[in-house]
Chains A and B, each alone.
Chain A
Amino acid sequence: MTAARTITFTLNGAPVTADVKPHHNLIEMLQGEFGLTGARESCGQGLCGCCSVVVNGRAVSGCLYLAQFVDGADVVTVESLDTREKLSPVQQAFIEASAFQCGYCTPGFIMMVTQLLDENPDPSDEEIKHYLTGNLCRCATYPEVIDAVKLAANKRKAVATA
């Protein structure tokens, strides 16, 4: 009764199909079917942000999202942000601001900061803190993350006006 079903969706711009069981979550599918490990399950409760994935333009916690629910959707993961030659402005800013230590939470932060800057290109400290309340860094690099967001905002503005 819990047979796998084939779903079709767009993954990082490319049309794909996957066989998923109803009880599999989005992270299990991205890792198991596509070998994408940028989004990872950490707290498993939607609190920590390590599993951030963008579905139809909105960030979701992949660990609380049934894989089946992305049938027909547009799914974007952290692996889409850089090209072989170049990191995205947000990725580059995290390196320049040293906004990580162990790096486990970093893909989730990168995804959420990218979303934040898409919605609000010039956020205040308060807006940054509010948007990132659902992202936990156990190395406590929060001050550097805020620096990185501001740096990324400037980089994106520079790219936009270039």
Chain B
Amino acid sequence: MIPFDLAEPTSLAAAIKLLNPDDPTIRPIAGGTALMLMMKSGVFNPEKLISLRKIEGKFSTIAADTDGLRIGAMTTLGALERSKDVPKYAPLITRTLRTLSNVRVRNVATIGGALAHGDPHMDLPPVLMALGATLTIIGPGGERKLPVEELFAGYYETVLEKNELISEVHVPAQGSKKGAYFKVTTGSADDWPALGVAAVIEGDAKLIKSLRLVASAATDKATRLKSAEALLSGKTVTDDLLRQAGDAAIADCEFIADVRGSVPYKRELMKVYVRRAVRGAMDGMDGAH
């Protein structure tokens, strides 16, 4: 890797001061697993990294109450996976984590990093969007709240300013809602997905009262499938309706071609997996295929 400088501030406030909104060569680093790949391949060559690993410990904690989970942005995916509270309030997160990357990467990668990186192939962002999670973001002028749904601006792009940091992720309790995350990997089950679809549904065995459907990986960014949601909301689910929803979902997405599939292939996958994710959520089964 090309040499760079590294600062290790001991508070979030100090880290924000070290970031410069006008200098893209200075960048925060949390777990670093994704950023290391970019630096090794020469895609990103920073002059200075601001490590967040020594900031206050409270940003690595998980708090739970009847409102749901408040997850510090520096919480590792491994800590999230092992937490006893996460499956009580958002079991879909625990199930998704088991299908994501591997033990070592989960031990280091953080939830804040997974979001701020803006990589559309990651599995957690669509799940958090489908669960209606919101972020606390801290910058020089104070803090603001932002739904995860509004975080992504495009391919590896977020709406975060270069001197803003995600400090906390709030996940509302899943309660009686059922959730599923289905992904398609064209190689092994643990490869980067060609498509991910998350569904979180309020309803009974057949009737959908309300739902949130989110697609990722096949798209330029994690994307809410609003046309498909509109078709399904308040309806009794039939095969025909699910087919219509799959077709409608295509119009909601900006597809990208990559080594995991062409655009026409991913459009076909979307039709099938919207159907499977909705059925999967209603049946209480998620899947990684």
Contacts and interface: CB of A to CB of B under 8 A. Distances in A.
B102 A46 contact: yes
A2 B105 CA distance: 26
B172 interface: no
Interface of B: 1-6, 8, 29, 32-33, 36-37, 39-40, 47-49, 51, 53, 78, 98, 101-105, 107-108, 188-190
Which applies to chain B's interface (DSSP): helix, strand, loop or mixed? mixed
A52 interface: yes
A60 B102 contact: no
Interface of A: 1-2, 21-23, 25, 44-47, 49, 52, 58-61, 63-66, 68-69, 112, 115, 130-131, 133-134
Nearest to A63: B36
A60 B2 contact: no
B248 to A, nearest CB: 35
Contacts of B1: 23, 25
Contacts of A68: 6, 8, 51
A148 B112 CA distance: 37
Nearest to B190: A133
Given A2-B5, A22-B3, A23-B3, A65 B102 contact: no
Contacts of B189: 133
A1 B5 contact: yes
Given A22-B4, A58-B78, 18 more contacts: A2-B3, A22-B3, A23-B2, A23-B39, A44-B40, A45-B37, A46-B37, A46-B104, A47-B102, A58-B107, A59-B103, A60-B104, A60-B107, A66-B29, A66-B32, A133-B190, A134-B104, A134-B190
